[in-house]
Amino acid sequence: MDVPNIVIVGGGFAGVEAARGLERALAPTDARITLVSPTDYQLYLPLLPQVAAGVVTPQSVAPSLRRILRRTELVPGAVIGVDPGAKVCVVRKITGEVVDLSYDYLLLTPGSVTRTFDIPGLPDEARGMKTLAQAVYLRDHVIAQLDLAAATSDEDERAARLQFVVVGGGYAGTETAACLQRLTTAAAKRYHPRIDPGLIKWHLIDIATKLLPELGDKLGASALRMLSGRGVQISLKTTVASVTEDKVTLTDGRVLPSRTLVWTAGVAASPLVDSLGAETVRGRIVVEADFKVPGLDGVFALGDAAAVPDLAKGDGSYCVPTAQHAARQGRHAAKNLAALLGGQPMTPYKHKDLGLVVDLGGHDAVSKPLGIGLKGVSAQVVARGYHLYALRTGVARFRTGANWFLNAVAGDDFVRTGFLAGRKGTLRDFEHTDVYLTPEEVAARTRA
């Protein structure tokens, strides 16, 4: 069948919504839809901290792409380069085999990776919170620290194993510190009578002057009070100067003996963006308000990887990298592409932010739906209701709801899976940022 091939790169919030929208808007005789993704699920990242804390299981936040999509063809792999001139993607399958995939239209939605800085030791020691494997690994690692601390008679080692450092006071870092602090406190109380609870220390560090700046001053201050009340030590205007296997040195001069540094200090667009040789702003690919990449025929970009003009703000800024924008951009891009194929005009994307929910575990939460500031139980109800609504399949919603119920009545067993034992599990190990080709390498391959 000689129909245009639409290739979507990435099966996250933007990619999946685009594929669903295209399946609805176009008949199989209008276009072929192909989605390239290293995973066969759509990861619901906002609940990753709860996976790390064992409140929900990994399966609950990983709805199957095959359940969500009807006729989109799935290619299991990652696009490691794009030749926009030849209209070819270079795909590295999950087996390692590298193949070329031609497209007529390309939707780039590869999302983002953890943003790092030139800090000594960071690439080798920091653990991230961007993939399912990272969340599961972090859980294993934290539980292992408790087990090892309980088993050692060396007081220095015990203190270091019970001191945890999280960098990043946005929603990812704040939720991670909050959820894992609850895990360690509950685990020590229930299963480790030999551990002095006073030895368990959680630090939340950020270079900014406020926690959760996205929520405004009042709610950010509420979250700070909730966490401080639970014993989390929050240090603002501070970051990490260096890190080794057993200590974290902060820019204010403090040296924290610790075996755990969780790094959630922002995101950077997928390195795939660099292989196109297109214009970028702060690493994100520059697009027009209808997602077209200027100068590249048939190429669109959206989600975290793209700098989409924020027309709702109208101040020349770009949409912030959130699931809220990515999913809506995906739906809008599908409409635009269907319009383009039908000879109709495309329309610009405009969406006013609906707010943010931050679950700090237990009854602690802060949220700002439609500009209304909430904290405590009401915020928690809004947060959990929003997550259930936003999860893509009924099965995932049911699993997540059942997990919350079971965790509330029966608690956690605090067991390690052991699947990743023996691997350090650093950012590089899990985010595969070193597999991408340069524009020259792509051209040499596709035009050989």
Distance CA 109, CA 268 (A): 13
**Which residue do the tokens 């839809």 mark?**
33
Is there binding between residue 235 and ligand FAD (CB under 6 A)?
no
Residue range at the interface with ligand FAD (CB under 6 A); choices 103-111, 156-164, 211-219, 229-237: 103-111
Please state the φ and ψ torsions of residue 74, each to the nearest 5 degrees.
-100, 130
Return the SS3 of 406. Answer: helix
State which of residues 58, 63, 84, 111 lies at the interface with ligand FAD (CB under 6 A): 111
Q: Kindly report the number of other CB atoms within 10 A of residue 314's CB atom.
A: 9
Between 113 and 149, CB nearer to ligand FAD: 113
Of the residues 143, 167, 172, 250, which one makes contact with ligand FAD according to CB under 6 A: 172
Distance CA 107, CA 326 (A): 13
Kindly state the smallest distance separating residue 261's Cβ from ligand FAD, in Å: 16
- Contact between residue 173 and residue 167 where contact means Cβ atoms under 8 Å apart: yes
Rule CB under 6 A: say whether 256 interacts with ligand FAD: no
Interactions with ligand FAD, residue window 385-424 (CB under 6 A)? none
Adjacency order of strands within the sheet including 88-93: 98-102, 88-93, 73-83, 32-37, 5-9, 105-108, 299-301
Sheet architecture: strand order including 284-286: 280-281, 284-286, 306-307
Interface residue with ligand FAD among 178, 226, 272, 382 (CB under 6 A) is 272
The answer to whether 302 and 149 are in contact (CB under 8 A) is no
Cα four-point dihedral sign 402, 66, 79, 109: negative
48 binds ligand FAD (CB under 6 A): yes
Nearest CA-CA partner of 99 in 76, 120, 118, 121:
76
**Positions 118 through 137 that interact with ligand FAD (CB under 6 A):** 129-130
Measured from the CB atom, the residue of 191 and 318 that comes closer to ligand FAD is: 318
58 near ligand FAD, rule: CB under 6 A: no
Helix (H, G, I), strand (E, B) or coil at 187: helix
- Name the one range near ligand FAD by CB under 6 A: 109-117, 142-150, 211-219, 413-421: 109-117
Q: Which stretch binds ligand FAD (CB under 6 A): 12-20, 153-161, 368-376, 407-415?
A: 12-20
Contact segment (CB under 6 A) with ligand FAD among 32-40, 148-156, 249-257, 414-422 equals: 32-40
Which residue is associated with the tokens 């000594």? 120
11 binds ligand FAD (CB under 6 A): yes
The answer to whether 303 contacts ligand FAD (rule: CB under 6 A) is yes
169 binds ligand FAD (CB under 6 A): no
Burial 177-198 (b: 16+ CB within 10 A, else e): bbbbbbbbebbbeebbeebeee
**Bridge partners for 263 per DSSP:** 167
The region of 35-43, 118-126, 411-419, 437-445 touching ligand FAD under the rule CB under 6 A is: 35-43
Shortest Å, Cβ 168 to ligand FAD: 9
| Binding flags for ligand FAD, 320-349, as an x/- string (CB under 6 A) | -xxxx-x-----------------------
Q: Are strands 163-167 and 201-206 parallel, antiparallel or unpaired?
A: parallel
Shortest Cβ 98–ligand FAD spacing (Å) = 12
* CA separation for the pair 169, 165 (Å, rounded): 12
Q: Count Cα atoms within 13 angstroms, Cβ side, for 38.
A: 19
Quick one: 12 or 298, whose CB is closer to ligand FAD?
12
Q: How far is the CB of 1 from ligand FAD (least distance, A)?
A: 25
Nearer to ligand FAD, 160 or 269 (CB): 269
Residues that bind ligand FAD (CB under 6 A): 9-15, 36-39, 43, 45-46, 48-49, 78-79, 109-111, 129-130, 171-172, 270, 272, 303-305, 321-324, 326, 356-357
